[in-house]
């Protein structure tokens, strides 16, 4: 195939927000995993990507393929604390690829230190990189907006974590890597003109129907996209784990699969990340945190909204103030579809009873939705059944949207990663195939359809893997 040539739109338009940089050299790099369906979608030939030239391209070292790779700068609120100086500490934007479906970023994660590394090594270990591949594929198959992984590269260079581990990098594909933190950096720099340009760039790239609409149009569009994404997270029982403003994209795509996890038993307070000691990013708190992050986004836009600060705040507040109600409406629609109770007189009551049932009984989230009918048979007969079952009784299963039978259950992910770290790929292959078909039990192996053993979930902890 003809060698792909990436654009440098972001690098050329926003030199104040990035630094020209190169990936580290990995002379022994090889392809560990190639996402062939994604490669084809992007118009890249999977066969070619496996050749030496293809591997060079994926590692950021091919000549003539990139216009100007950059490490992107950003600021961000991490667990509520503002850090003005973050940025791609182990990542590199190779550039943008024009695909049959529009422009996407090709980006490396784990490609070596950059000026933003703050003393860390800039590399990645195999297990967390595979984890990002697996979970983002699952999210994509579940219909949730997400960045994706085109390839996991074995860098041939061990990294030191708690001990030596095989090194890897991923080639990440995203609608863009522009985040709330990118706007926060422009604000820190006091670069109002840059921020204004960034607003227009983001509208054109992500919300072209509102192109030219200015900061309020962008605020509203990002809010709407993110509210939908986060509602979908709750629907499938996803806990992102590190919803810092630098991990909140302008596109609305889910990004950064460090400490994420899935619910087994439905628990509002579920929180698995080792660094989230206060439970800030627990399952049920994610919509509220999104609201907080959107407020931080709105703040960065104030100088662009109106020269009069009070007027600017009032305009931003007008949009942000509608957020909670908008979320409730999106989420109610989503739960109602999952339950098959849309468009009824008592839809809201049925949704609220179902959520109450889930919270009270802490049943397995995935199995509850995928086997409603089967369970209902059992409960109709019971006198002391939770009132949800009576409400649900006359629901219309045909009106329900399909509920997944397979999610990447935490214990199965860990088992597959442990095996893959030891070059055993059977579990990995089986799990990846299953999560790519979440609505079809025939792709799943039996254990994947069962809840995790309780003692396993109670002690489960996720790590950023950095």
Residues 104-163 binding Mg ion (CB under 5 A) are none
Which range in 27-35, 208-216, 241-249, 278-286 contacts Mg ion by CB under 5 A? Answer: 241-249
Among 60, 258, 287, 408, interactor with ligand AMP by CB under 6 A: 258
Cβ 338 vs Cβ 403: under 8 Å: yes
CA pair distance 463, 466, nearest whole angstrom: 8
Per rule CB under 6 A, is residue 89 in the interface with ligand AMP? yes
Per rule CB under 6 A, is residue 314 in the interface with ligand AMP? no
CA pair distance 412, 428, nearest whole angstrom: 9
Which amino acids are annotated catalytic? Answer: 246
257 versus 327: smaller Cβ distance to ligand AMP: 257
- For 191-209, the DSSP string reads -HHHHHHHHHHHHHHH-GG
87 versus 340: smaller Cβ distance to Mg ion: 87
CA pair distance 403, 142, nearest whole angstrom: 9
Residue 152, phi then psi, degrees to nearest 5: -110, 125
Place of tokens 């790099």: 29
Q: What's the min distance (Å) between Cβ of 72 and ligand AMP?
A: 10
Per rule CB under 6 A, is residue 371 in the interface with ligand AMP? no
Site string for Mg ion, 251-280 (x = CB under 5 A): -----x------------------------
433 versus 464: smaller Cβ distance to ligand AMP: 464
CA pair distance 362, 435, nearest whole angstrom: 23
Which range in 82-90, 146-154, 322-330, 351-359 contacts ligand AMP by CB under 6 A? Answer: 82-90
- For 15-29, the DSSP string reads GGGEEE--PPP-TT-
Number of other residues whose CB lies within 10 A of the CB of residue 113: 17
Q: Secondary structure of the chain: what % helix, strand, coil (to 5)?
A: 45, 15, 40
CA dihedral 290, 438, 392, 453 (to 10 degrees): -90
Among 35, 75, 247, 300, interactor with Mg ion by CB under 5 A: 247
CA pair distance 58, 418, nearest whole angstrom: 25
Q: 375 touches which of ligand AMP, Mg ion, none (CB within 5 to 8 A by kind)?
A: none
Site string for ligand AMP, 90-129 (x = CB under 6 A): xx------------------------xx--xxx-------
| Both structure tokens of 375 | 């369970």
Per rule CB under 6 A, is residue 77 in the interface with ligand AMP? no
CA pair distance 308, 302, nearest whole angstrom: 9
Q: 121 touches which of Mg ion, ligand AMP, none (CB within 5 to 8 A by kind)?
A: ligand AMP
| Both structure tokens of 9 | 């739109």
Per rule CB under 6 A, is residue 256 in the interface with ligand AMP? yes
Q: 90 touches which of Mg ion, ligand AMP, none (CB within 5 to 8 A by kind)?
A: ligand AMP
132 versus 256: smaller Cβ distance to Mg ion: 256
CA 454 to chain centre: 26
253 versus 256: smaller Cβ distance to Mg ion: 256
Task: Name beta bridge partners: 215.
Answer: none
Q: What's the min distance (Å) between Cβ of 281 and ligand AMP?
A: 12
118 versus 361: smaller Cβ distance to ligand AMP: 118
Q: Contact positions toward Mg ion, by CB under 5 A? A: 247, 256
| Interface residues toward ligand AMP, by CB under 6 A | 86-91, 116-117, 120-122, 242, 246-247, 256, 258, 464, 466
């Amino acid at each position: 195939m003809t060698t792909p040539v990436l654009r440098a739109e972001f690098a050329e338009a926003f030199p104040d927000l990035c630094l020209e940089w190169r990936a580290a050299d990995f002379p022994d790099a090889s392809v560990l995993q190639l996402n062939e369906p994604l490669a084809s979608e992007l118009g890249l030939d999977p066969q070619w990507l496996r050749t030496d030239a293809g591997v060079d391209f994926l590692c950021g070292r091919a000549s003539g393929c990139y216009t100007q790779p950059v490490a992107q700068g950003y600021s961000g609120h991490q667990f509520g604390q503002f850090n003005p100086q973050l940025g791609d500490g182990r990542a590199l934007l190779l550039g943008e690829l024009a695909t049959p479906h529009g422009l996407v970023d090709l980006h490396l994660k784990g490609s070596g230190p950059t000026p933003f590394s703050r003393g860390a090594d800039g590399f990645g270990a195999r297990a967390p990189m595979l984890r990002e591949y697996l979970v983002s594929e699952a999210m994509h198959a579940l219909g949730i907006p997400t960045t994706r992984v085109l390839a996991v590269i074995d860098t041939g260079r061990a990294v030191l974590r708690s001990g030596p581990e095989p090194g890897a990098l991923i080639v990440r594909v995203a609608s863009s890597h522009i985040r709330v933190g990118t706007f926060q950096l422009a604000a820190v720099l006091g670069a109002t003109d840059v921020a204004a340009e960034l607003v227009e760039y983001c509208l054109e790239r992500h919300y072209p129907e509102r192109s030219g609409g200015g900061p309020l149009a962008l605020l509203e569009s990002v809010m709407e996209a993110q509210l939908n994404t986060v509602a979908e997270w709750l629907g499938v029982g996803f806990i992102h784990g590190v919803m810092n403003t630098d991990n909140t994209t302008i596109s609305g795509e889910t990004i950064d699969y460090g400490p994420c996890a899935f619910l087994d038993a439905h628990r509002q307070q579920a929180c698995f990340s080792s660094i989230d000691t206060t439970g800030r990013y627990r399952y049920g708190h994610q919509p509220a945190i999104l609201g907080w992050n959107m407020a931080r986004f709105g703040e960065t836009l104030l100088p662009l909204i109106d020269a009069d600060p009070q007027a600017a705040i009032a305009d931003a507040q007008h949009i942000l103030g509608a957020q909670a109600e908008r979320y409730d409406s999106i989420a109610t629609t989503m739960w109602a579809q999952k339950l098959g109770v849309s468009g009824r007189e008592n839809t809201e009551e049925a949704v609220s009873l179902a959520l109450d049932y889930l919270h009270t009984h802490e049943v397995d989230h995935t199995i509850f939705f995928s086997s409603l009918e089967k369970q209902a048979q059992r409960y109709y007969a019971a006198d002391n059944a939770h009132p949800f079952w009576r409400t649900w009784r006359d629901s219309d299963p045909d009106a329900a949207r399909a509920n997944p039978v397979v999610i990447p259950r935490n214990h199965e992910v860990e088992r597959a990663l442990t095996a893959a770290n030891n070059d055993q790929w059977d579990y990995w292959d089986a799990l990846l195939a299953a999560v790519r078909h979440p609505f079809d039990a025939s792709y799943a192996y039996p254990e994947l359809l069962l809840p995790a053993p309780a003692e396993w979930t109670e002690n489960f902890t996720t790590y950023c893997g950095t």
